[in-house]
Structures are given as structure tokens and as C-alpha cells.
């Protein structure tokens, strides 16, 4: 059984509607903020899927994304992404 994917739409600076898929959300005790990590399924020049992160307010009626403000916040997100990437990579090597 496949878990239902959470999706939302954003309007870019040119007025285009873009569908994004939520990869995961998490709360940080260190910053007392909630974060959402998502993709629009586009790729960069190297073929890597582009991933974005923002802060948000859980249980809010509207998904109001706010920019990441500090280098510390980016480091927290980067650490989690690296850990998840390692888990996926190790799982593939183990034949999962």
C-alpha cells in the first residue's frame, strides 16, 4: 500500500502555478520552528532533483511558507537531508 503524497501549489514570481510535493516536515527544538522540505520535481544541470525548504505554521488554515533565515537553520536541514540520503543509499546497498 502506497502512502498518500502531500502536494500543494505555489505561484512563482512570474505568476506561474507550480505543483510541489512535500518530502517531509519536522520541528526543531533548537530553533523552535517547524520546517517543510519539498520539491517541484525539476532537476539541476547535474540531474539532481531540486529540493526546497521553508518554515511554516502547522495546523494553519493556509500553508504560509516563510524563508529560512539563518545559516544555522540551513545546517540543520542539510544534516537531516544528508542522513536521509545515507539511509536510502545504505538501504539500496542492503537490497531493501
Domain membership flag for residue 16: yes
Domain membership flag for residue 76: yes
Domain membership flag for residue 73: yes
89: containing domain: 7-93
- Band of residue 1 on the pLDDT scale cut at 50, 70, 90: very low
Q: Is the pLDDT of residue 19 over 50?
A: yes
Residues 20-62 have pLDDT tens digits of 999 999 999 999 999 999 999 999 999 989 999 999 998 888 8
Q: Please count the structural domains in the chain.
A: 1
Domain membership flag for residue 37: yes
Q: Is the pLDDT of residue 76 over 90?
A: yes
pLDDT of res. 63:
82
CA torsion sign, 4 to 39 to 88 to 35? Answer: negative
- Band of residue 96 on the pLDDT scale cut at 50, 70, 90: low
Nearest alpha carbon to residue 77 among 56, 58, 54? 54
Domain membership flag for residue 2: no
Domain membership flag for residue 22: yes
Domain membership flag for residue 53: yes
Amino acid at each position: 500500500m502506497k502512502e498518500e503524497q502531500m502536494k500543494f501549489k505555489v505561484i512563482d514570481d512570474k505568476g506561474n502555478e507550480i505543483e510541489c510535493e512535500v518530502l517531509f516536515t519536522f520541528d526543531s527544538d533548537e530553533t523552535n520552528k517547524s520546517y517543510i522540505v519539498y520539491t517541484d520535481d525539476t532537476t539541476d544541470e547535474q540531474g539532481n532533483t531540486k529540493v526546497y525548504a521553508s518554515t511554516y505554521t502547522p495546523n494553519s488554515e493556509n500553508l504560509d511558507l516563510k524563508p529560512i533565515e539563518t545559516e544555522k537553520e540551513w545546517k540543520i536541514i542539510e544534516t537531516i537531508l544528508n542522513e536521509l540520503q545515507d539511509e536510502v543509499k545504505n538501504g539500496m546497498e542492503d537490497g531493501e
